[in-house]
Amino acid sequence: MNNRVRGLLDSLLKFDTTSRESNLDLIDFIQKYLSSFGIETQLFHDQTGAKANLFARIGPAGNGGVMLSGHTDVVPVDGQRWAYPAFALTEHQGRYYGRGTADMKGFLACVLAAVPGFIAQPLRMPLYLAFSYDEEVGCLGVRSLVEHLKASAERPAMCIVGEPTGMQPVYGHKGKLAMRCHVKGHACHSAYAPLGVNAIAYAAKLVNKLSELGEALSEQQDSRFDPSFSTLQVGTLCGGTALNIVPQDCQFDFEIRHLPDSQVDSVVSELQQYAEEKLLPEMKLRAQDCDISFQPLSGYPGLLTDPLSDFAQWLAQWCGSDAFSTVAFGTEGGLFDEAGVATLVCGPGSMEQGHKPDEFVSIEQLESCIFMLDNLCAWMRA
């Protein structure tokens, strides 16, 4: 195994970059590492200044080229029982254990380890590195970097997002829309329940409406995806304070994981119309201060790249596999694709290990990733 990869992965794992934490220490480490090779970097901070995206270019300036993209944040380990230290590298039986080894610091370590090889070659086109924050909470952080790409005269033509796919090329995934609904009713003593407006009861009617809308979504099928249709589910619901009080407030969160070409705005519009035209008039008959509001939480577009494109065929050659597929999880790829950068997903490890206790990536997978990057470097050589 490439000792440089192991050393870099060991360093990256030591940074607790859970999405609720800052990623600046890790970004500073990467920035200094790239600077040691004479590579300049750009940072795009969030509003608090506690997080940042990193963007860098290797090789000549100009339009076109390839971008390697990965996120720096990881999911929490709270409530998980680990046999190995979560924020350290443990090697055991051909695997590297630690939070983020698969999702997706293993890919970041491979990219950084490959930098000297790209530096050593005169490249005929630019290679870009794009490392983002807050991917795990809805692909939130990368958006400032995407806006930079949209406005830039020098934009990569192709992007490989290194999410864990077992080093199999992926051309598509669903999009996601997450929303919160807050129902404000009118509280009173439960002995006089008809005088109040039960927020939980009206939230339940909205949840039932969502079930109907979800059934309608399932009628549009695309066999390239599993499940083969857009899905809708309510993930959390909370409300009320005591059994003998008619609840004044109830809140629930729901998400739609939709096919790339599916229009989900109409689903939200229909739910809002039902709330405004059917439920609110009933509620306000008893209390004028009742309300139903909706708040977007997060969302990202789906991805659907032509697996017969030149880019897809090149990636198949670089990674040694033409077994193209789709994945159930989302990535930042749809956002890059919307910005005009053709995007595919391919990276070491499996999401079967991601987000779980004792997360790991096999050394063999990292070696396959280095193989892909070496082939990419040879293809980009002037």
CA dist 177 and 297 (Å) reads 8
Q: From the candidates 16, 103, 134, 135, give the one annotated as an active-site residue.
A: 135
Torsion angles phi and psi, residue 350, rounded to 5: -135, 145
| Residue 73 designated active-site | yes
Which tokens belong to 128? 């870009």
| Residue 78 designated active-site | no
Task: From 296, 306, 171, select the one nearest 225 (Cα to Cα).
Answer: 171
Task: From 125, 225, 235, select the one nearest 180 (Cα to Cα).
Answer: 235
Q: 326 has which bridge partners?
A: 172
Q: Angle CA(150)–CA(151)–CA(153) in degrees, nearest 5? A: 100
Task: From 181, 182, 195, 183, select the one nearest 245 (Cα to Cα).
Answer: 195
Q: From the candidates 16, 73, 222, 337, give the one annotated as an active-site residue.
A: 73
CA dist 141 and 74 (Å) reads 13
DSSP structure string for 215-226? HHHTTS--TTSS
Looking at 59-164, list the stretches that DSSP marks H as alpha helix, in order from N- to C-terminal side. 106-120, 143-151
Look at strands 170-173 and 303-304 and give their pairing: antiparallel
Q: Any idea which residues carry the catalytic annotation?
A: 73, 135
